[in-house]
Structure formats: structure tokens, C-alpha cells
Structure 1
């Protein structure tokens, strides 16, 4: 675990603030004032550490039912990244295989303060080159994993498991500029970047993991994918397999929120709405609840992380299957990324997400497996989800 000290503006370098969920009107005049980094294997519960660190640096998150005010002259808020492995660790579930990008911590909290004058702009990026992608498993190995999950479902071990693959490619140039372009992908509700020593994370996620809006907890699980054509939309709406998979995860998310919600307040505001991300249709629902009295950030993160749409049901059993089937860890993928302020919280699920270390880019993509899954179709779906991100990152 590491912290930047002293907590003064002059002590830390200026980094462009492009964090998903950061207030747009503040981004041009924010500077980093404090940072916490933690990795699986370090001491402590990452969710508790995040809550205490934020409170100590002027972002009160001990009671999300009592939001504070946005201070336009002091601390603005903080970026928060929590990996899928950190989320699993916090709830005592298997954390999976080692990450292929160990430079990226499993928890990053970066506190930002408003500067009196706008910070200087960083120098323009130079050239960019991206090499060939190398997958962590072959299509045949991916299909075999799908069959193994179907066997586990047949035994009654699980109802659904989300399987995720990884790919890496060498690069040359400034990864911050390349990864910042992901925010321009259509439907990237959580488009943005976060960086640290030796790593840069870029996100184009359309999915809300958890937000606090209008006094309610809100999550928007996405399950169900088809090509963004008229025929693809009709097929998605008519698919019994996709609807069953989707409803199963909506039920899981309802149960997750119920653990930290006021009794009887959980509701499904929208079910199986078809929306577009790049050249894909995806089915999204909205589940909300009133937070229980005194709900703090740590308890909320433990309730919803790792996200149900990228784990499966039941969550602990699904995570055990993930740990047994996936050859490499999820790294930057399938975690949480967004903004925590005194007055608001908005975290996206890090699907459609890449991270750069010193010499490679890493990308994750996958899908939910049910008894009705076709292995070849699941392999093709994961490739379709990764394709827009790969194409944009390959652009010079």
C-alpha cells in the first residue's frame, strides 16, 4: 500500500483529469493532492481503506444518505478504481489468476483539489504504433471453458457464469493520448482515463455499476448482445436465452442492493431496454433502492463488487468458476471506475476497458454463460465486444 505525501498541490505533478464522472466544469482546474494505492496481498480491506482515506482528505463518505456540498474552492472529489480481484477479496471470494498487468494497483484513490489558476496543459503526444494482439486463450480453449461452465450448471453448482478473455499487444508512443480516445466511442457513458506510475487505464464502458442519484442507489446491469442492425434488434428482443440470462442478473442486482437498502425500497425501474454501444445492441435494466440509514462507501462497495453482470449467479460460486476457468486475471477489466464527491457518487463497470503498462496494452472481453449458451457464439460475442476498442486503439 502506498500514499503520496505531503498532501499539497505543489508536491504532485499535474495530470490531465479525464476521469469518468468528474464534474465537467471543474476538470480544467483540478490538481491531484493525495493518492492511495493498494494491491491484493497487501494488508487491510480495500473498501475500508478507501472510505477512511477519502474521509481523511475531505471527501466524507461515511453516510451516503447525508450528501455534502460540492466545494468549488477546496477539495472537488476523487477518482476511484477498484479491480474485480479487489472486490472479490473484500467479500472473501476467490480472486482468480494473477493479473497480466501487475503495474496497475487493485485499488487507486486519487483526491483532487481546485487550483486557483488552471494548471498548465501537458505537451502534445508524439507518434503512436500498436502491434499485433495476442490472446491469452485460443478460440478452442475459450469454447472448452464455456462447455465446462455448462457442465457446472448441469450439476447445479451455478446458474450463470461470466467468462472473460484477455489480449495484449506491444505499443510505442504515449498511451495516455491513445486511451483517451476511447471516450469518443458511441455509448461510452463512462469514457475516460486514469493514470499512475507505469500505467494508464482507458475506459469506454456503457454500464453503471453503482451511482447515488436523487437520494437513491442506482445500478444498470447490461446483459444480452446482438449486432446493431434491425434484424439484430429483433433477434435480441425475441431471444428467450438472452432474456433469461438478463433477468437472472437483474434479480442478483436486486438482492445485492437489498443488503444495503431500506427495507422494501428496491425496485426495477426499467427492464430489458435495448440500447446501442458502437455497432452492438445491448439489453439494459435499471434497478434502484433507497440507501439504508448510515450506509457508508465500504459497505456499498462490498455489496455490489464485483459486479453481478460480470460474475454470475450465485456470485460466490460463479467467482469460484471464474478462478478455475480463466487463465489470467482480470486486471483493469470488470472492476469499478468513476468519481466520488461529497455530493455524488458515480462508478462505472470497467467493461470495454484497456490498460497500458510499460510496453504492452491489455484488453479484456467476455460474456455470460448459461445452459443455453453455444460455445462458438460466445467466442464470437466476446470478439465483437473487443473489436471497436481494438480498432480505435490501432488508429494512428
Structure 2
């Protein structure tokens, strides 16, 4: 894969994680890259690194004095945290090795303002995507669901998210294909990030964490049906999906409570149906007031890895995940977004792919409860992966 310059994370919502007025005029100043084998606490490493550049700001996570938008001022930083790095932050099992080991488990890229260059650009090399090859068969996926149901029956866990992986060979420049992911309907966190021999493309609809002044916000997604009238009615009426969703809402309330003022956690919206591509998904909004003395490292430890892609209780679910999934989660089920002066906006990396020197990697899965049907869970994972595969294949 040819080296392509790092691109700024771009979100499609308001307020945008990357200021719209700056998105076209940024360049990389410096970066931090960390792999799970490097040792140390990734939460503290990234917090210390960003603090060197006055991020999230001189007052921690509180609103900072607006950054001057001059020629060399720091605008903010793109931040990526893998699921394995999130597990390391809380002392949980990190799971099997990633199938894309060239991609770091933690990346923070600090951007500064500059005058954009003009002139002709080299056209990208023609893109060709080969056949997808799964890391496990549908039968093995279904067997993992059965094993998870058995763990739930024993009382080891209440719910767990099981994720599968597939990869495909490619030829040409992957960046245009990754950029197409951002055009998928409902891609709230649409962006790309690249390094030497690797790239990440994200089309996530899910907010892992956003700060708005002293207010912390998370929007877990749990529950999926086809985006038809019948599918919407089924999602709204499903006792199984609603129970699964509410378990994750309770887990996310508990996660925010770790860094919130006592009594400030609330559910602002419960089980709202949103559309992502050709799927309906149930989403809730949970918020809380930031407690005094909380820094970025504390915040990352509280929410990573995201509850909607781990399960409940979180540590027990991560133990099950490490035993059940045949390959690591790589760039999926982690965090990806922007850290600006006094502001953090991170999406959860579902609908996210990684590219190394010769393959594209994609993950998809779903939450397992006692009432899960193994064949239906396999089909749901395939339905979530299908729009991403189509976008990567191109017109």
C-alpha cells in the first residue's frame, strides 16, 4: 500500500468534531502511536501526550478559551483507541492478536492550521477488491453464540457481544474506497486516518462519548431490524431487543457515573429508532454532569471499551469475548474521533475497516442474550457488514 498522508477525522453532525472552518486547512504537527505489546497504560499515555499540546485544554475537560486560528496554532487531534487498548485500560483480557497487526492500538495525531497547497494531484491507482474470506464459518459463529448462551444460563454474564472478522485482498489505492464509507446514510462518525502501511475508514453511527461543556453524553445502539415498515414495527415490539437494549443503557449509566457528579446521570431518550443504511437500529441518549478533577485518562477508562459492544457485566463479558472470538477485534469496537480545546467527541468504531499492505479487514457482530437465535445472530452480522462491503467495492 502506498503511503498516503493522514486525513482529518470528519463527522457529519453538529457540532462537528472537526471545526468546519478548519477541515480543509490542517496539517499534521506530530503523532503518538502505540501497540498493545509496548506496555504501559494507554489512557495515561495519550492524556499526557495531548496535554503537551494543551489538549483538551488548560482546564482539563471544561470549556477552554477558544483556540486562535492562526497559521501555526494547534486546532485539535484525531484520536483512535482499539478495543484491545480499551481493555488494557481497565485491566481486562485484550483478546487474541489483531489480524491487522500493522495498525497501532492507539493513535493520536495533533493538527495545526496551515495554508492549503494547490496544484495538480497524482490520480489514485486503480482500485480492485478481491473475494472476502471469513475468519470463521457461519457454523462456528453460531456455535460461539450457543456457548455465550450457556454462559448466560450459568449466570456468568447477562449479555455479551460476539464479533466476527473477514478480510479481502486488494490492489490499488485504498483511500478513495475508505472515503466512500463516509457517504453511507447515518455515518455520524465518518472519517479516515492513515499511517505507514495502514489505514482506517469509519462509518460509525454510534456516539461513544461527547462532551458539551460540563455535560457528558453517550448514545448506545442496540437492536437491529431491516429498514422496512415491518422491520420498524418488529423492533419497537420486540421484548427481547428492548430488554437487551435496556441492559446496555444501565451499563452505560454506570460507566458515566464513574466520572459524573453524584445524582447527575439521566436517560434523555430511550429506545429511539434511527436508520443506518438499510437497517433500523434502537438508540438511547444518556448524559451526566462531569465531576471535578476528571481528566481525559479518567474519561477513557470509564467508557472504553464501549458497553454496547462488550456486554454486562463488562469485565466478565470481555473474558468471554477473549475466549470465544478467533481473532482480535483490531480497529473495530474501539473509539475514533476528535479532541479539541475543551471538547471531546468520540464515535464507537462499529462499521469500521482497517487496511494493511495487502488486505482490507472488516468486523461485524451483535449482542447475545439468553433469547438469541444463533442463525439470526449470524444473519444480523452479515446484514451489518453488507453496506460496508458494497461501499468498498465501489460503484
Which interval holds the TM-score relative to the shorter structure? over 0.9
Which residue number in structure 1 is paired with residue 54 of structure 2?
Answer: 58
Matches within 5 A, 1:1-396: 15-20=6-11, 21-61=17-57, 63-73=60-70, 74-115=73-114, 117-120=115-118, 122-395=121-394
Instruction: Provide the C-alpha distance between the structure 2 equivalents of 1:68 and 1:87, rounded to a whole number of angstroms.
Output: 30
Are the counterparts in 2 of residues 60 and 68 from structure 1 also a CA contact under 8 Å? no
Moved more, 300-309 or 41-50: 41-50
Give the aligned partner of residue 14 of structure 2: none
Structure 1 residue ranges (4+ consecutive) displaced by more than 4 angstroms after TM superposition: none
Q: Distance in 2 between matches of 1:299 and 1:214?
A: 17
What is the distance in 1 between the residues matched to 2:388 and 2:351? 7
Q: Hey, what's the Cα distance between the residues in 2 that align with 1:319 and 1:106?
A: 17
Q: CA deviation at 1:69?
A: 1.8
How far off its partner does 1:58 sit?
3.0
Q: Secondary structure at the match of 1:31?
A: strand
Quote the offset at 1:42 in angstroms.
1.0
Aligned partner of residue 140 in structure 2, secondary structure: helix
Encode CA deviations 1:252-311: one digit per residue, 9 max, x unaligned: 000000000011100000000000000000000000000001211000000000000000
- 2:4 and 2:194 in contact (8 A); partners too: no
Q: TM-score, normalised by structure 1?
A: 0.95
How many angstroms apart in 1 are the aligned matches of 2:172 and 2:241?
40
Match of 1:3 in 2: none
Which whole-Å deviations, capped at 9, do the CAs of 1:205-237 have from their partners, x for residues lacking one?
A: 000000002430000000000000000000000
Alpha-carbon distance in structure 2 between the residues aligned to 1:233 and 1:271: 15
Superposed CA offset, 1:26-70 (max 9, x none): 111101000000011213111101111011123245621343423
The 3-state SS of whatever aligns with 1:85 is helix
SS in 2 for 1:252: helix
Equivalent-residue separation in structure 2 for 1:204 and 1:57 (angstroms): 28
Aligned-pair CA distance for 1:80: 0.2
Q: Please report the RMSD computed on the Cα atoms of aligned residues, expressed in angstroms.
A: 1.4
Alignment: residue pair count: 384
Contact 1:65 1:294 in 2 (8 A): no
Higher mean alpha-carbon deviation, 120-129 vs 255-264, is at: 120-129
Comparing 59-68 with 34-43, greater Cα deviation is found at 59-68
Stretches of structure 1 that go unaligned for 5 or more consecutive residues are 1-11
Mapped contact 1:182–1:204 kept (Cα < 8 A): yes
Asked if structure 2 preserves the Cα contact closer than 8 Å seen for 1:228 and 1:280, the reply is yes
**SS class of match (2:24):** helix
Mind listing any 5+ residue stretches in structure 2 that lack a counterpart? 12-16
For 1:318-354, what per-residue CA distance to the aligned partner results, in whole angstroms no more than 9, with x for missing partners? 0000000000000010000000001321000000000
Give yes or no for contact 1:65–1:293 (8 Å, CA) kept in 2.
Answer: no
1:28 is paired with a residue whose SS is: coil
Structure 2-normalised TM-score? 0.95
